[in-house]
Amino acid sequence: MLSSKKRLDRAYKNAKVINFDDTSKFILFSDCHRGDNSFADDFANNKNIYFHALKHYYTEGFQYCEIGDGDELWENLFFKSVFEAHKNVYMLLQLFYKENRLYNIWGNHDMVYRDPNYVKKYLYTFFDEKTGEDVALFPGIEFHEGIILKHSKTNQEVFLTHGHQADSWNYLFWKWSRFMVRVLWKPLNVMGIADPTSPAKNYTELIKIERRTKKWIIENNNLITITGHTHRPRFPEPGDIAYFNDGSCVHPRCITGIEIEKGEISLIKWEIDTNDDGVLQIVRSVLEGSRKLLDYKTN
């Protein structure tokens, strides 16, 4: 049985490498948990915020890295129900994909995407009810366990992975967790009872996961590492352990993410706010940063 260290080592070793420079722009979101728009769909509360933010990043020329748990495939048996509930989101993601600006990492809640045959069956095409035919959605799309953003001039690396590699239960026994969520916790979730196996709801487990991840980062020369999974945003100061977490898109009333632009990194938030006239609007704010990536570089 692989340790969390060996699982992270493997994710790093097999990661897809994306070269970038100071003109590159990335937005990182994770833990969207897109569901079927039922009462148990945590994404539904923030879907308008997420869609508006993603449309902004598409217009501004950002590349989008979704670093795990984009789709909630523990509570939902098939991707089809999720796709139909949030079709506008997938049509926007399709625009990113067509322009080679979409990169995907699988997490524990969409671990089925490890299987290229599953991805091909459900994500390459979708059934268009208007035409009665299968239509291209994400033909040829790939999911990765890790992604390395490598700066073409400085050779500095930024390692992206979901983070459940440091969570043995949700990595090794995800099928059992999925079963429990479907038969037990989804019905209870509708009544407001949280799933105790989730690190986002279990603070003790969350701390253990962060500690294991930080230990791995130290052992790898303080490699900048960005994860999701715990839903807890993290943004270290230069000189500290270079562990970042982009938070999630299922916070109450807001979504958080990480931007990389002009060689700098920022933790951002999108939420609904009111202007002076009382009109509701979706606004972006910077929670932490921006900091130069090179400030975290070690020799």
Cβ pair 184, 40 in contact under 8 A: no
| Tokens 């026994």, residue located | 173
Sheet holding 280-292, edge to edge: 143-144, 102-105, 63-67, 25-29, 254-261, 264-274, 280-292
Backbone angles phi, psi at 193, to 5 degrees: -95, 125
* Residue 145 in this model has a pLDDT that exceeds 90: yes
pTM over 0.85: yes
Q: What is the mean pLDDT of the chain?
A: 90
pLDDT (average), residues 206-218:
93
Looking at per-residue confidence, does 289 or 183 come out higher? 289
The pLDDT, as a whole number, for residue 205 is: 78
What the block records as the tokens of 255 is: 């979504």
* Residue 196 in this model has a pLDDT that exceeds 90: no
Confidence of residue 75 (pLDDT cuts 50, 70, 90): confident
Domain, as residue range, for 56: 4-296
| Tokens 């799309």, residue located | 141
**Spatial separation of the C-alpha atoms in residues 35 and 207, rounded to whole Å:** 27
Q: What are the tens digits of pLDDT across the range 101-130?
A: 999 999 999 999 999 999 999 999 998 888
Confidence of residue 289 (pLDDT cuts 50, 70, 90): confident
pLDDT (average), residues 50-78:
95
Q: 107's torsion region: left (phi>0), alpha (psi -120 to 50) or beta?
A: beta
Q: 32's torsion region: left (phi>0), alpha (psi -120 to 50) or beta?
A: alpha
Looking at per-residue confidence, does 182 or 133 come out higher? 133
Query: 27: domain CATH number?
Result: 3.60.21.10
Cβ pair 68, 31 in contact under 8 A: yes
Chain mean position to CA 33: 9
- The residues pairing with 64 across neighbouring beta strands, listed in sequence order, are 27, 102
Sheet holding 224-227, edge to edge: 16-20, 146-151, 157-161, 224-227, 243-245
**Spatial separation of the C-alpha atoms in residues 273 and 269, rounded to whole Å:** 12
Per DSSP, helices labelled H in 3-102 are 4-13, 47-59, 79-85, 87-98
* Residue 223 in this model has a pLDDT that exceeds 80: yes
- What is the 8-class DSSP label of residue 251? B
Count structural domains, the chain: 1
Closest CA to 245 of 227, 222, 229, 223: 227
The residue type found at 248 is S
* Residue 189 in this model has a pLDDT that exceeds 80: no
